[in-house]
Amino acid sequence: MPTYKEYREFCQQICSTGVSLYTVEKACKNIGDLNKPFIIIKHDVESKPEKALKISKIEHSFGIKTTYYVHSFFLHNPKNVAILKEIISLGHEVGYHYDVLDSNDGDKNNAIQEFKETLSRFSDNGFAIKTICPHGNPLKKRVDYSSNKDFFLDTEIRKLFNNIVDVYITFPDILEKDYLYITDAGYAYSYRDAKSTKTDATEELLPLGSKDDIIKMIQDGQSMIISTHSHRYFRFGYIAWVRISLYKIAKLVANALYKTRWGKYIINKFYFIAKKI
């Protein structure tokens, strides 16, 4: 169950392997050092930044520094801005979890405009964004584009923001060696070759039994990016169990609705709600 206690144990296990840990930005600056086995932990903060703060404090107690990818809407609330600053004060990084193609229905010009404005808003709040990560939005109906990844896959758009690294799109090009991408998407760990993260081929994900399997991979000398969702951690295991059950039911209902014309229309209109579950 994804509890804070379990995450604390996981941090302890990672530290005991002696592997080198990097934030995404630090990895980009020290790319030569990544020839040795490495781990990058990154979090997609979809909601509840206070939970991200709890996770960041746990990591800090082990001397672990990670990267938190946050949505731009967090900046609307000064309380959230203060939380993100506290996370940075612990030595972590904050990056931009963008979904500008979805929010502009695939219109690249409008997406570029929103992306620029958002970078300025981050900057105005004291966050210099150096790395970014695309958001998934599994329920979004898309026409003429396949995912938010298409934004940074566009070479012309990349040129406009050439001082920014996308952890899925451009980082695999900077780092030549192979490494794994491990995700907790869907409340269960799975993995694939990180070079394939440019596509949305979720079918390529291979299931992992538990976090112990990840530790075993680290002990075997595998390098990896571990991607987690901080809002899916809970204080008590039973709350996590209830939440996972609700998530599975919601997923079944959404999938059934999505097969109907009106259901698809309604779900597409409220696609952004899915990120909070």
How many residues touch Zn ion under the rule CB under 5 A: the total is 2
For residues 79 and 100, what is the distance between their CA atoms, to the nearest angstrom? Answer: 24
Interacting residue with Zn ion among 42, 51, 65, 135 (CB under 5 A) = 135
Q: Which is nearer to Zn ion, 51 or 135 (CB)?
A: 135
**Four-residue CA torsion sign, 273, 117, 196, 190:** negative
**Which residues lie below 8 Å from residue 185, measured CB to CB, with a gap of 6+?**
136, 202, 205, 227, 229
- 231 part of the interface to Zn ion, by CB under 5 A: no
CA distances 111 to 103, 140, 223, Å, are: 8, 16, 33
Interacting residue with Zn ion among 25, 44, 114, 150 (CB under 5 A) = 44
Site for Zn ion in 60-89 (CB under 5 A): none
Q: Which stretch binds Zn ion (CB under 5 A): 5-13, 27-35, 127-135, 154-162?
A: 127-135
Q: Which stretch binds Zn ion (CB under 5 A): 43-51, 104-112, 120-128, 163-171?
A: 43-51
Q: Which stretch binds Zn ion (CB under 5 A): 37-45, 108-116, 138-146, 205-213?
A: 37-45
- 184 part of the interface to Zn ion, by CB under 5 A: no
The enclosing H or E element of 56 equals helix 49-61
- 102 part of the interface to Zn ion, by CB under 5 A: no
What six digits make up the tokens of 218?
């680290």
What six digits make up the tokens of 240?
């996590």
Q: Which is nearer to Zn ion, 135 or 211 (CB)?
A: 135
- 99 part of the interface to Zn ion, by CB under 5 A: no
* Rg, the chain, Cα only: 18
Tell me the closest approach of the beta carbon of residue 70 to Zn ion, in angstroms.
Answer: 10
- 150 part of the interface to Zn ion, by CB under 5 A: no
Q: In this chain, which residue has its C-beta nearest to Zn ion?
A: 135
Pick the closest to residue 83 from 60, 62, 63, 54 (CA basis): 54
Tell me the closest approach of the beta carbon of residue 77 to Zn ion, in angstroms.
Answer: 18
Tell me the closest approach of the beta carbon of residue 42 to Zn ion, in angstroms.
Answer: 11
For residues 50 and 38, what is the distance between their CA atoms, to the nearest angstrom? Answer: 28
Q: Which is nearer to Zn ion, 140 or 222 (CB)?
A: 140
**For the chain, first and last CA: distance in Å?**
16
Tell me the closest approach of the beta carbon of residue 275 to Zn ion, in angstroms.
Answer: 6
Q: Which is nearer to Zn ion, 38 or 115 (CB)?
A: 115
* Cβ pair 270, 258 in contact under 8 A: no
Tell me the closest approach of the beta carbon of residue 133 to Zn ion, in angstroms.
Answer: 8
Query: Tokens 């070079």 correspond to what residue?
Result: 195
Q: Which stretch binds Zn ion (CB under 5 A): 21-29, 40-48, 58-66, 252-260?
A: 40-48
**Which residues lie below 8 Å from residue 50, measured CB to CB, with a gap of 6+?**
83
Which residues here bind Zn ion, judged by CB under 5 A? 44, 135
